[in-house]
Amino acid sequence: MNKAIFLDRDGTINVDYGYVYQPEKLDFLPGVIEALQTFCTLGYQLIVITNQSGIGRGYYTMDDALRFNQAMSQRLSAEGITVTDYYICPHAPHEVCHCRKPQPTMVLQALSKHHINPEESYMFGDKASDVACGENSGIKSYLVTPEHNLLYWANQLKEKQI
């Protein structure tokens, strides 16, 4: 069985400018590169779980979102970081889908596909719905804030404090 770090994208990995999809608006938050390197060193797979309601709202397309994720993977790869997979909910809230966080669907799919042990895995995100999604999936989940950013949590994990 593998272990994984499940990550929200906007506001957790990259700066959330609001409905970001242009690769030139991909700016990593402080400490994120070091945090992700730490997770990799500790043997975790990285899996991004993102709600992209901008697609359902017609602001941009699934292809745009995929291009953004590809740009993210390329820039992280240059830092020695591999993202195993991305899961995107493209729906607007009014579509009442079965994948939008805080529902656990995307995480549960990833657990199954990548043979991940939920008990050894973690979810980090900047919204209560991220934490709820992780908890609904049976995964330890923590909120990312400016004070407790992703690097803070990576160090907590490294020091076996969480």
Site for Mg ion, rule CB under 5 A? 8, 10-11, 126
126 interface partner picked from Mg ion, Zn ion, none, CB below 5 to 8 A per type = Mg ion
Which residue, 47 or 126, is less far from Mg ion as judged by CB? Answer: 126
Which residue of this chain has its Cβ atom nearest to Mg ion in the complex? 11
**Catalytic site residue 16?**
no
Q: Which residue is nearest to Zn ion (CB)?
A: 97
How far apart, in whole angstroms, are the C-alpha atoms of residue 73 and residue 58?
Answer: 24
Asked whether the beta carbons of 4 and 125 are under 8 A apart, the reply is no
DSSP 135-154: HHTT-EEEE--SSS-HHHHH
Location of structure tokens 């160090």: 155
Answer yes or no: are the C-beta atoms of 49 and 90 closer than 8 Å: no
- 74 φ, ψ (degrees, to nearest 5): -65, -45
Minimum distance between the CB of residue 149 and Mg ion, rounded to whole angstroms?
13
Nearer to Zn ion, 6 or 142 (CB): 6
| Nearest approach, Cβ of residue 9 and Mg ion (Å) | 7
When the beta carbons of 16 and 120 are compared against Mg ion, the nearer one is 16
Which chain residues interact with Zn ion by CB under 5 A?
89, 91, 97, 99-100
Task: Give the CA angle between residues 8, 160, 85 to the nearest 5°.
Answer: 30
Nearer CB in complex with Zn ion: 133/151:
133
Annotated catalytic residue 64: no
Give catalytic residues, as residue numbers: 8, 10
